[in-house]
Amino acid sequence: MARLQDKVIIITGAAQGMGATHARLCIEAGAKVVLTDINAEKGQALATELGSNALFIKHDVTSEEGWAQVVATTEAQFGAVNVLVNNAGITMAKSILNTTLEDYRRIIEINQVSVFLGMKAVIPSMQNSQQGSIINISSINGLVGGAIGYTDSKFAVRGMTKAAALACAPYGIRVNSVHPGVIATPMVMQDDTRAAVEAFAKSIPLKRVAQPEEVSNLVIYLASDESSYSTGAEFIVDGGLTAQ
């Protein structure tokens, strides 16, 4: 049997980048996947490519009403939610002096508040079957310092994960966070940043950046029953960067 056979999974920010890779590999592992994103064109194209076990929903992750619709549509199409991958997020590299209140609130809403809303929305669906796995994608900047706003939100995801894990344990629902380092996504490996990223890679103990699949393989493990005793934990995928 496939590792995720018939598991119903919601993945946010799934139209491109790591989210798209998560979706593709989860489908290959036997899951039924709901892809959500604000980019309807790319999201729908990917869902069509992935076939009948994939469904795309245009989704603003900062909207509580939007989350309710996503869960209701998922249950109607595939059944109770087994796994949530809170993957949607944005980056920001401004200094604290150049960050406006509007900038700050936007990154907190997308990177942090959306994770709270997602967990709150799916837990009742998971409670019915007394099992589930919530996977919150944080960052190594949820462990060590980085840009203002982005670091704050990723530390918050780490903390929310632990709080939710304790609250959800009586229902058999596991909650873990994933902390990627430098990943070779289109956003990271743009023409104007590629040289800088490749130069930085020399400081990583494994001497390279990660491929998206290397994060997705960990997501699949946490989504599967193989990780049945892991909850409230941090899983780091950074080539040893934070071990230095």
Strand positions, DSSP E, 93-238: 132-137, 173-180, 234-237
Closest by CA position to 209, among listed 235, 234, 181: 181
Query: Is residue 64 within 8 Å of 85, Cβ to Cβ?
Result: no
Q: How far is CA 107 from CA 136, 156, 162, in A?
A: 16, 12, 21
* Residue 171 appears among annotated catalytic residues: no
For residues 31 and 51, give the distance between their C-alpha atoms in angstroms, rounded to a whole number.
12
Please identify which residue in the block is written with the tokens 């598991």. Answer: 7
For residues 139 and 177, give the distance between their C-alpha atoms in angstroms, rounded to a whole number.
9
Please tell me which residue in 104, 150, 221, 229 is annotated as part of the active site: 150
| Buried/exposed 116-145: b ≥16 CB within 10 Å, e otherwise | bbbbebbbebbbeeeebbbbbbbbbbbbee
Query: Is residue 57 within 8 Å of 13, Cβ to Cβ?
Result: no
Catalytic residues: 150
